[in-house]
Chain A
């Protein structure tokens, strides 16, 4: 039974429930306590030890129902009746019943003809385990696994028996052969169904993981619409990882640096005897982030993901102000706060996007809106291709931001070789930045944001 449970946990991991080894061991101990007899009891024991949130519990329930499905042959009687009716219609007048047969017969043939559904289901499960159906990865492996399971169940013997019968004369042998051929057909269908269900359990996410890896490094401008949902989940996953990485460091005690004033005050009750020393503490400021996004044309899709990323990090980056511009710049912090992210971004893109870009005007607007608030704790991220349609990019304003802010970062989705070609003003703008980077994949974004969080300490 241990094998069953490890297979179940495997299926669970495939549906994105994180199960660690220690949780697996807990599950084993829990199952040993409650046993496999009662379905609901087993389910709730597993759900308590393995799933650690409401959402995971729902997923576990789903996997549980699909995994512990032993009704593979339950619809057998109906088809059997049809088959029997068909047999009668053949007109050879002889009805077949298994008890009449006294010749040799394989175990599988016996089960099929006697319609021993329980034994069949059990043999199927065992065969499936023997051929390691849990290793199935892709849909195209369906055929080979179906075949292997049937072979494991004794297909060779069954085929031999059918072949032997076809050579024999006599009504009984013919009837038996027909019944067996039909039963074999049904067995094949049911095994295939079973294998397809296993694909649903084990395989769907292997392909998905491949796609996720691919999406991480695909150019954001090339992301297909159909991958958007997956992309969103990916952003959340990456953001969560970053958040847990950076959420701990908020206070750094500098042991060894005595805080004289606080020590004296704290020890006043003890007659001034210094027995409770106080150390200097440096509080780690959470950075306030200003994201200025060019939302014109090709940069828009990158901006979308940058914002998505920043707003998934609310836990560690509570102070994000977002600005969007193409020719004029507007603050969209409120819009993003009050609406679901997806809707808000679409709205901003509709209002602001797709005009002729004018960096100069955008910086003038930004100066008016936010320059006063920028101080030594602020990180400013500018996302854009620096193509200002030959208008003055007003690098002087950016210089001022540079002087005031802790860090100014220019992210350009274009590859480095395109910088400074045509109307690109990279050289002028770079002078007003601490850092200028190419940024057009998910991995780039992750690195950039990781850096921002790291600088906070």
Chain B
């Protein structure tokens, strides 16, 4: 098994730079995690609040490496037939029907049941071979010739059983199929697991991964993210907007606005040709930032104060 061939991962600075060009503003710890993951050949478990760019990190990595991104969305009840492989039952059945006529040719010359059985045994495994295997995301990722980026999204939503069965893939990059044998990856894929901490992951899984926690960005980082994602937004407005959102995050809200909401808001303001933040403007567009009616109502009274502070700080 070999590593993905690339010079993107030659140094931590290089990663930050490449990702920046691809539109993902990476903090030092994020670049470090990717660097380590590549060189130690370990999966990365990315945790953090919703909307800070966990999934985006995997997408950007795939784009930078020019490799396919294979995504497995986890949910309760996900099992190996949907994640790993399944037999193509229909095809198997169709083939047996079609080949029924050939049966007499195969059995030609055989005398009695025992001899026929023995002849059949020599053909036994053709219906349980790779041709009849339907690869699902995990197997696809192992089969890619030049390697791939595998994203196992929201792994905390899956069941405990599924987590246990991920272990073989995450540590050895191989899967065992009873009828066929062990399938190994030629080139180890780069694996990202994301989690929102809906439940604690098992120690065994944690142990196999590099752990990266992405918090909400500080104002400097958030400004550069917005500059990269929404370049049309003027410098002044960007400062005001970031300051406003940073203040919102301090409040006691049901769902705090994340980076993705900040980007959406910035796009909205560009669309409205706004030059500067004002209380009315904020009130009209607040539903882009806050997703719960209680939050919107709670913040409503504080909007003038927050806007003023944002203008002053910017």
Contacts and interface: CB of A to CB of B under 8 A. Distances in A.
Given A30-B40, A270-B89, A270-B93, A48 B210 contact: yes
A247 B210 contact: no
A273 B160 CA distance: 34
A370 interface: no
Interface in B181-220: 199-200, 202-203, 206-213
Contact of A29 (B32, B40, B92): B40
Contacts of B32: 34, 41, 44-45, 48
Contacts of B209: 52
Contacts, number: 75
B29 A44 contact: yes
B225 to A, nearest CB: 20
A276 interface: yes
Interface string A29-49: 110011000001100110011
Interface string A11-55: 000000010101100100110011000001100110011011110
A315 interface: yes
Given A30-B40, A54-B47, A49 B213 contact: no
Nearest to A48: B210
Contacts of A271: 93
B40 A273 contact: no
B22 interface: no
B207 A20 contact: yes
Interface string B89-132: 11011000000000000000000000000000000000000000
A26 B42 contact: yes
B93 A275 contact: yes
Nearest to A249: B160
Given A44-B29, A53-B211, A247-B160, A26 B93 contact: no
Main secondary structure of the interface of B (DSSP, over half): helix
**Of listed A22, A23, A276, residue having the most chain B CB within 10 A:** A23
A23 B207 contact: yes
B39 interface: yes
Contact of B203 (A18, A248, A315): A18
A33 B39 contact: yes
Given A48-B211, A247-B160, A276 B39 contact: no
Interface string A265-281: 00001110101100000
Contacts of A48: 29, 32-33, 36, 210-212
B24 interface: no
Contacts of A22: 207-208
Contacts of A248: 160-161, 164
Contact of A40 (B28, B35, B164, B213): B28
A57 interface: yes
B211 A273 contact: no
Interface residues of A, number: 33
Interface in B65-94: 89-90, 92-93
Contacts of B200: 240, 315
A271 B96 CA distance: 13
Contacts of A251: 161
Interface string A76-107: 00000000000000000000000000000000
Contacts of A51: 211
Contact of A33 (B36, B45, B93, B161): B36
A24 to B, nearest CB: 11
Given A26-B42, A48-B36, A275-B92, A54 B213 contact: yes
A26 B44 CA distance: 13
Nearest to B164: A248
A135 interface: no
A346 interface: no
A244 interface: yes
Given A270-B90, A270-B93, A244 B202 contact: yes
Contacts of A57: 211, 213
Nearest to B36: A30
A41 B28 CA distance: 9
A44 B210 CA distance: 11
Nearest to A276: B89
B35 A52 contact: no
Interface string A167-208: 000000000000000000000000000000000000000000
Contacts of A33: 35-36, 39-40
Contacts of B203: 18, 20, 244
Contacts of A52: 45, 206-207, 209, 211
A244 B206 CA distance: 14
A273 B97 CA distance: 11
20 contacts: A18-B203, A23-B207, A29-B40, A33-B36, A34-B12, A34-B36, A48-B33, A48-B211, A48-B212, A49-B210, A52-B206, A54-B47, A250-B160, A251-B161, A270-B89, A270-B90, A271-B93, A275-B89, A315-B199, A315-B200
